[in-house]
Amino acid sequence: EKIRAITKRNRGVSLGQVIAELKPVLRGWLTYFQHAKCRGLLQSTDQWIRRKLRCFRLKQCKRVITLQRFLESMGVKEWQSWILALLGKGHWRKAKCPQANQAMSILWFEEQGLYNLVLKYERLTNLRKPPCARACTVV
């Protein structure tokens, strides 16, 4: 619920501010769930958050031409950016299209400062493993 409230599309704030508000929430979730085996849950949550933020950014473009120019500036080919811009579906569905994924990739979100749950979870779990985890115990 907290993430839904922060990432509402009709808020008049920038994407950077939304990501800054999300960071402490995601960090808190990770510290809470770090001892559980929940990589799959964190992965699906991470994917959902990125799609929600893509939707947020697409909604900010408002007009077709603005969306097309934004996608083209992010490295999407011109004809592909027009396909997405002229797509008559909603922002949520557009956010799942390959053009949106290409324009706003995981690396782009990391550059924007988004907290990657799966990456941080794997680092935390690797730190907890004993150095001889592969060795068999002698009984």
* Residue 92 structure tokens: 């949520």
User: How many degrees, rounded to 5, is the angle at CA 106 between CA 100 and CA 111?
Assistant: 110
* Residue 73 structure tokens: 């500036």
User: How many degrees, rounded to 5, is the angle at CA 74 between CA 72 and CA 79?
Assistant: 25
pTM: 0.84
Q: Which tens digits make up the pLDDT trace of 5-26?
A: 888 878 888 999 999 999 999 9
Q: Which tens digits make up the pLDDT trace of 80-125?
A: 999 999 998 899 999 999 999 999 999 999 999 999 989 888 888 8
